[in-house]
Copies of this chain bind each other. A is one copy, B any other.
Amino acid sequence: MNSLRQAAILAVGSELLTPSRVDTNSLFITEQLNLLGVDVAFKVIVGDDRGGLAHLFSTAFERVDLVVCSGGLGPTDDDVTREVVAEVLNRSLAEDESITARIRARFASRGMKMPEINRRQAMVPEGAIVLENPRGTAPGLWIEHADRLVLLLPGPPRELKPILSELVRGRLSARAGEAALVRKVIRITGRTESHTEEAVQPLYLEWARREVPVSATILAALGQIELHLSAKAGARDTAERAIDRAAEEVQRVLGLDVYSTDGRQLEEVLGDLLTRKGLHIAVAESCTGGLITSRLTDVPGSSRYVDQSVVAYSNEAKVALLNVARELIDEHGAVSDPVALAMADGIRSRSSADVGVGVTGIAGPSGGTAEKPVGTVVVAVVTADLSRSRVFRFVGEREQVKFQASQAGLDMVRRLLLEP
């Protein structure tokens, strides 16, 4: 078999050809293949259509060492990947009874009987290796053919990801040889894309000239900027050293605005910080509607630092739940520094947490005024010794304002806890 250099990704599913769905599996697949130094030459998205899939699969199979297909392994009539690939490769399909038994057991464990159509998922092309799918009924399939490799993976990301990660750690890495393409994402808050670019640009030229060159792409995401670094070298170590050095250089230039260089999201970074300092946090949320606490509790082990939070959406709730003085709201408006600070104080004393956060704002689309337009959000953070509040003006739809407000809330706590 060839050593793997170039791959193609085929996403199968008619729903991926509608105006509202993008194929995101291919991003994860690309990331994983890059880890092994395998480049993605092209991607194809095709419907549940035998003729089209056969044609495009053949096209892909001709040009690359590795074809990764996702989707179309379900139990229904429009799941055609298994059959089409077997046909193109001229292999017969046969039921693998051990797979059927596993699917049956899976249904039984939830007190259900396996529908007969699920037996289609146990059909295996001659000579294929079955890749166990601990999270779903359709196993993955590994097919070696004419010096090339074909992988069929189930479409749901939560099923696909563990199967592929496992392969990349094991069976695939053995095939891929030593070269490695290494990437690192640097996550940044408190700067615009162009201000980040301005600060970092002098580094680009230097990186390009190094023995192991590092290339960078800058990306504006919601509530943060991402700098994607990549380096390719003969050995993984070498590429990793080049990337680590570049990441350190970025951190030196951007300081505290860099919140993570190791893939962690802001809520994880803050969670680690709270854990390390042994602090508890409680949040009084108005316009974010619970999103900040939901993000905090997305992190495993967050019960170490979260006991409670309150969503005080109406003014009455701010008074009743958080002891905010009614006159404060009347005088300054619900979206104001004094009210945000009173909310943070209120939740902090109610919960006995070390850190109290208050967030109030206008998420839109209505409710804005000339003085406080839609997108105006006030965040306050209070500890035993310190208190901060800040007014933000976010741009975007309601959900985008909410997310940016949650990002600002988490980030203000992070910065406060890092103050000397």
Residues of A within 8 A of B (CB): 13-24, 27-28, 30-31, 34, 39-49, 52, 55-56, 59, 63, 74-76, 78, 110, 112, 115, 117-118, 135, 156, 158, 183, 185, 192-195, 197-198, 217-220, 226, 228, 230, 285, 288-294, 296-298, 300-303, 306-314, 316-317, 320-321, 351, 363-366, 393, 395-400, 402
Contacts and interface: CB of A to CB of B under 8 A. Distances in A.
Contact of A19 (B27, B312, B321): B27
Nearest to A289: B297
A18 B183 contact: yes
A190 to B, nearest CB: 13
Given A22-B27, A52-B41, A364-B300, A228 B15 contact: yes
A24 B27 contact: no
Given A14-B217, A48-B217, 17 more contacts: A15-B219, A17-B41, A17-B43, A18-B228, A19-B27, A19-B183, A20-B226, A20-B228, A22-B22, A44-B45, A52-B63, A59-B59, A78-B217, A115-B195, A290-B294, A297-B402, A307-B314
A230 B75 CA distance: 21
Given A22-B23, A313-B308, A395 B291 contact: no
Contact of A307 (B27, B194, B230, B317): B317
A41 B49 contact: yes
Nearest to A19: B31
A230 B22 CA distance: 18
Nearest to A59: B59
Nearest to A395: B135
A287 to B, nearest CB: 8
